[in-house]
Amino acid sequence: MDACVGVVGLGTMGLGIVLVYAQAGFRVLATDSFPAARATARDKLVAVLAPRLAKGALDQATHDAILARITIVEDVPALAPAGLVIEAIIEEIAAKRVLVAALEASLAPDAVIATNTSSLSVASIAAGAKQPERLLGLHFFNPAQVMKLVELVAHPGTAPEALTRARDWTLAAGKVVIDAPDRPGFIVNRCARPFYGEALAMLEEGRSPGEIDAAMQAAGYRIGPLGLIDLIGADINLAATEGLSRAMSGHPRYHVFAALRDQVAEGALGRKSGRGFIHPGEAGPAPTDAARIALRIEATLINEAGWLLAQGGGTRDGIDSALKLGLNFPRGPVEMLAAHGAHAIRATLAALEAAAPNHLKTRYLPAPILEPS
Ligand SMILES: NC(=O)c1ccc[n+]([C@@H]2O[C@H](COP(=O)([O-])OP(=O)(O)OC[C@H]3O[C@@H](n4cnc5c(N)ncnc54)[C@H](O)[C@@H]3O)[C@@H](O)[C@H]2O)c1
């Protein structure tokens, strides 16, 4: 393959994205504004590939060929040969806009510029561009070289040809590309909120973390919501929740639970700090009402997906695939709805809304997808 991909930002995400395309045979040019990040990038890439090489999952010749396709360059103008450039720099709109301007000045007129932003709107990044039509979002998941899903995000002015190139090249790199709306949290980060939020609500009502997680594992989830917060880091989860809550004007569906704030304030961040909701322990046996706990969490997951659909964001299949691939869920919200039936979900939400404390009132109002037909 002769196509060339550019990557800006050689941090956690950028290094993974470099590997995604290099492994698939693309030439990759990558840079970072910090000299130390450029100087250490190759060693970090070698370290990421090392376990696969040691296990025999990757042979030496393939390993060397992957690295030979990657060139770390000094600056943005050196990305000129790239037909698609993905930025994975700091999550600040001003920095991203300055970078987009520099890319526009350096790249071929038909080159596509993609942002890997998690929390900024693609339209807001494109707003300062001279050619906003070539800007779009390619949202990878961490670790990018492992996670199959990429959310492809168009803003109202993105050109179809730009979307086609970004989609085709990313499909060629072995990813599943799902169209996501340019709305806060796109699909996955938004639709995942109730998984954590409803578990935290139950925690505040006095359930133990082990019971909640065991109930979800009994329902087929590889990891429970509180164990997943431990894995991600409570601080990262809090930042994502606060960001979405702000973007959604503080709607109670995106409530930031005190149990999460307290966890961060205590430094019980999960695996990285040695202690979390579950970590270093395990979930334990499922409680007798495990099915009720799982139904409650799935009812809110279904409802959030329903509200996103009602706002014109994504398709039923797209949302299901995105949550299965992005979060390893055993089924997507639309499949959950088919399994439980709309009547059971409406009744569960109605009971939750009736019992909701004042600060959570309206959290459980049902989305149109649940209306009796
Ligand atoms: N970490 C995740 O799980 C994750 C997942 C999906 C998307 N994202 C998004 O990806 C982007 C990068 O996140 P990350 O976690 O890799 O961050 P990071 O801090 O690990 O890496 C950012 C890199 O960008 C470099 N950088 C900063 N400003 C720059 C500039 N102006 N020009 C060039 N390089 C610059 C830094 O030196 C650093 O190496 C952010 O937009 C983030 O929201 C992160």
Query: Last residue of a domain, which of 133, 162, 180?
Result: 180
Asked if residue 15 has its Cβ within 6 Å of ligand 1, the reply is no
Spatial contact of 86 and 8, defined as CB atoms under 8 Å apart = yes
pLDDT score, position 1: 54
What sign does the CA torsion over 138, 238, 282, 223 have? negative
pLDDT higher than threshold 90 for residue 2: no
Asked if residue 99 has its Cβ within 6 Å of ligand 1, the reply is yes
For 191-227, the pLDDT digits (tens) are 999 999 999 999 999 999 999 999 999 999 999 999 9
Closest ligand 1 atom number to CA of residue 14: 16
For 57-110, the pLDDT digits (tens) are 999 999 999 999 999 999 999 999 999 999 999 999 999 999 999 999 999 999
Both tokens assigned to 303: 């409802």
For 13-66, the pLDDT digits (tens) are 999 999 999 999 999 999 999 999 999 999 999 999 999 999 999 999 999 999
Task: Judge if 253 and 134 occupy the same domain.
Answer: no
Spatial contact of 18 and 168, defined as CB atoms under 8 Å apart = no
Asked if residue 18 has its Cβ within 6 Å of ligand 1, the reply is no
List the CATH number of the domain containing 295.
Answer: 1.10.1040.50
Closest ligand 1 atom number to CA of residue 36: 37
Distance separating alpha carbons of residues 72 and 35, to the nearest angstrom: 11
**In angstroms, what is the span from residue 297 Cα to ligand 1's centroid?**
32
Task: Judge if 61 and 202 occupy the same domain.
Answer: no
Distance separating alpha carbons of residues 353 and 186, to the nearest angstrom: 26
For 324-346, the pLDDT digits (tens) are 999 999 999 999 999 999 999 99
pLDDT higher than threshold 70 for residue 188: yes
Task: Judge if 175 and 226 occupy the same domain.
Answer: no
Q: How many CA atoms lie within 13 A of 253 on its CB side?
A: 24
Task: Judge if 15 and 100 occupy the same domain.
Answer: yes
Spatial contact of 223 and 231, defined as CB atoms under 8 Å apart = yes
Task: Judge if 260 and 230 occupy the same domain.
Answer: yes
For residue 128, name the pLDDT band (cuts at 50, 70, 90). Answer: confident
Distance separating alpha carbons of residues 21 and 173, to the nearest angstrom: 6
Distance separating alpha carbons of residues 309 and 183, to the nearest angstrom: 12
For 305-328, the pLDDT digits (tens) are 999 999 988 999 999 999 999 999
Identify which of 12, 19, 309, 322 has the alpha carbon closest to the alpha carbon of residue 151: 322
Task: Judge if 243 and 138 occupy the same domain.
Answer: no
Paired residues of 155 in beta bridges: none
Query: Last residue of a domain, which of 146, 180, 214?
Result: 180
List the CATH number of the domain containing 16.
Answer: 3.40.50.720
pLDDT higher than threshold 70 for residue 155: yes
Q: In what order do the strands lie in the sheet with 149-153?
A: 70-72, 27-31, 4-8, 84-87, 112-115, 135-140, 149-153, 176-180
pLDDT score, position 372: 81
Protein residue with its CA nearest to atom 26 in ligand 1: 89
For residue 243, name the pLDDT band (cuts at 50, 70, 90). Answer: very high
| R_g (Cα) of the chain, nearest Å | 22
Count the domains in the chain. Answer: 2
Task: Judge if 208 and 347 occupy the same domain.
Answer: yes
Asked if residue 40 has its Cβ within 6 Å of ligand 1, the reply is no
55 Cβ contact partners less than 8 Å away, ≥ 6 residues apart: none
Asked if residue 33 has its Cβ within 6 Å of ligand 1, the reply is yes
Spatial contact of 166 and 134, defined as CB atoms under 8 Å apart = no
Q: 3-state SS of the chain: helix, strand, coil percent to 5?
A: 55, 10, 35
Task: Judge if 192 and 250 occupy the same domain.
Answer: yes
What is the pLDDT averaged over residues 261-274?
97
pLDDT score, position 140: 97
Q: How many CA atoms lie within 13 A of 183 on its CB side?
A: 19
Q: What is the mean pLDDT of the chain?
A: 97
Q: Which domain holds residue 173?
A: 4-180
Distance separating alpha carbons of residues 333 and 110, to the nearest angstrom: 38
Task: Judge if 342 and 294 occupy the same domain.
Answer: yes
At residue 115, the 3 state secondary structure works out as strand
Asked if residue 187 has its Cβ within 6 Å of ligand 1, the reply is no
What is the pLDDT averaged over residues 350-362?
97
Identify which of 143, 138, 139 has the alpha carbon closest to the alpha carbon of residue 48: 143
What is the pLDDT averaged over residues 173-198?
97
Spatial contact of 293 and 286, defined as CB atoms under 8 Å apart = no
pLDDT score, position 110: 95
Both tokens assigned to 30: 């990558």
Task: Judge if 204 and 337 occupy the same domain.
Answer: yes
Task: Judge if 172 and 192 occupy the same domain.
Answer: no
Task: Judge if 66 and 212 occupy the same domain.
Answer: no
pLDDT higher than threshold 60 for residue 247: yes
**Letter for the amino acid at 175?**
K
Paired residues of 84 in beta bridges: 5, 112
